[in-house]
Amino acid sequence: MLGLMPSVYILECSDGSYYVGSTRTLARRVDAHMMGLGAAYTRSRLPVRLLWHEEFENIAEAFWWEKRIQNWSRAKREALMRGDYTALRRAAKKRFEPRAPVDEAE
């Protein structure tokens, strides 16, 4: 049965955006989102669809992962949902524009 352990999950909202959350009871939480009783973010973007979830031993660990995934880019979240760990590592690498050399004489 879905959602018997603490979980982190990703929902797709009606506008195509993703919502990341964590819960102790996944099936009940997804139902709450669908009934407009979930987060304010999802209430205005119904219906939602569960795309991915992962179960954890305790809610603290699920919450930690929720906060981490919330800071990820869309590409990184999509790589996670696909299970594409090569793309996940690639998306995790920060890309910085090279800085112009500083003229020490100035």
In degrees and rounded to multiples of 5, residue 26 shows phi and psi of -60, -50
Domain ranges of the chain: 7-91
DSSP string, 11-23: EE-TTS-EEEEEE
Domain 7-91 sits in CATH at 3.40.1440.10
DSSP state of 3: T
Specify whether the CB–CB gap between 19 and 42 falls below 8 A: yes
pLDDT tens-digit profile of 47-105?
A: 999 999 999 999 999 999 999 999 999 999 999 999 998 888 888 776 666 666 666 65
- The confidence score (pLDDT) of residue 106 equals 53
Q: For residues 66 and 87, give the distance between their C-alpha atoms in angstroms, rounded to a whole number.
A: 20
Q: For residues 66 and 60, give the distance between their C-alpha atoms in angstroms, rounded to a whole number.
A: 10
- The secondary element (H helix, E strand) that includes residue 55 is strand 49-55
What is the value of pTM for the model shown? 0.84
Mean pLDDT across the stretch 9-36?
97
Two tokens, residue 69: 């995934």
- The secondary element (H helix, E strand) that includes residue 40 is helix 40-43
